[in-house]
Structures are given as C-alpha cells and as structure tokens.
Amino acid sequence: MSRAIDIPAADGTIDAHIFMPYKASGPLPAVILFTDIGGLRPCYHEKAQQVADHGYAVLMPNLYYRDARGPVVPAGQSFRDPDVRPPLLEYAGRLTSEAQARDFSALLAAIDREAEFVSGRLGVVGYCLTGAFALRMAALHPDRVAAAAGFHSARLAEADDPDSVLLVVGDIAGRVYLGHADQDELLPPVQIARLDEALARASVHFTTELYRGAAHGFTAKDAPSYDASADALHHKRLAALLEETL
C-alpha cells in the first residue's frame, strides 16, 4: 500500500515512498523512516508497511538521491559485497549534518503538502547510519518531532567526531527510544554510555535498551545478522513509542 512521490529539495529531487494501512484514506499521523546504509530495498519497504499498518502514513525517502534514483544495491547483492561497499560509503559520506538539515526541511514540507499526512507533530526512526539522523532531526525540529527512535545505530557518540549528534541532543523536546545490539562493534558500550549521559544531562525523556545477543543490523531481513526475535521486539517498542506520542 505505497505510492512513489518526488520531493523538491535544495540539492535536487528526493524520490520517496508513502506507505498507508490497507484501505486507509488518511490523513494519518506522519512517520519518517530512514533506511540503513543499504538504502531503499524490499526489506525496508516491508518494514515501512509494518509501521504504517499500526495507523500511520510513513514517508521513506531515498537517502542517496544526490547520486542515484531508487535502489542503489543491485538485486542479490548487499552492502558487504566488495563492489557495492565503496560507492555506498562514498554516497553516505556526502550526508553531512548540513545536507541532512536541508533534506529534513524538504521532507517536512512534503508532509505538510501531501494529503496522506496529518500536519503537525510526527515520529522519525532510523537504522544503522540513520539512527543519528533521527536524533538530529528531533533536535533541529523540536516543535515537530514528538518521537525519535534509532535501532542498531552506528557511531552515535565517537569522542573525536566534531559533527557528532552529541552536540545537539540537548535541543530535543520529544521522546527518544534507542534499541542497541549488545554485540554491536559499531556502537560499543562506551559510546552508549556517553550518549545516555548527554541525554540525561539535557533532561531528554529517553529509553535505552540492549537487545541481548543481537548483532548490528538485527532488523534487516537481508542481512546475515538478522534476528527474528529482536526484530519483533523492535516493532513492538516502536509501535508503543508512536502510540504514546502521536
């Protein structure tokens, strides 16, 4: 239950998809879903539909619209393949905090324009690379983002990162939920503790949860690290967060 749209943005045209519950006409509360580093692909279309089926209009943009339209990983391949990984890292490297900010504004304008969405406060969720996007969007738009969630987020709180989301989390006004893989080499315990401390110091209403035995990418059905029980818990926690805030 999705349709494709094009969103005008400062850096080009964002190709995106809007997902709705079956037979729903809207308008419904908005949720922005950012894919992991692998970009648009079937497992994320399925994920977005699962979120929509709880009663939301879900907007899923192509992170890499500056470089390619639609899926960027060829069918049957993955981020882990040596011929796929380098261009994805190059594309991701262009997603600076400034570029993200410009895209957030374009996405909010689309939500205010498209008939499927209730204009007003919304939720945002990110995975892997984009867990930080969800937090940054909540910080840059505290009047709009009621809930922000990140799952198996990567490198959220590196001490030597001059562009770290740690520097802006104090501006978050909405609820935050972070679901971490306890076997995640991309977000070790020291970074989790550093982020928790920053959120607590800023009096952000947040929850951090460790998914015991889960590895990075535990929600991605096309990844070898996929964990069905952890994925089911992630959907349960996200649904509760959105219900309580939207």
What per-residue confidence (pLDDT) applies to 152?
98
Pairing assessment for the beta strands 12-19 and 57-61 based on DSSP bridges: antiparallel
Instruction: List, for residues 229-244, the tens digit of each pLDDT value.
Output: 999 999 999 999 999 9
Position 42 scores a pLDDT of 94
Domains identified in the chain, total number: 1
CATH of the domain at 118: 3.40.50.1820
> Hey, CA dihedral for 128, 196, 137, 53, is it positive or negative?
positive
Please give the Cα distance from 178 to 190 (Å, whole number).
15
* Residue 14 belongs to domain spanning: 2-245
Residue 78 has pLDDT above 90, yes or no: no
Write out pLDDT tens, residues 3-49: 999 999 999 999 999 999 998 887 999 999 999 999 999 999 999 99
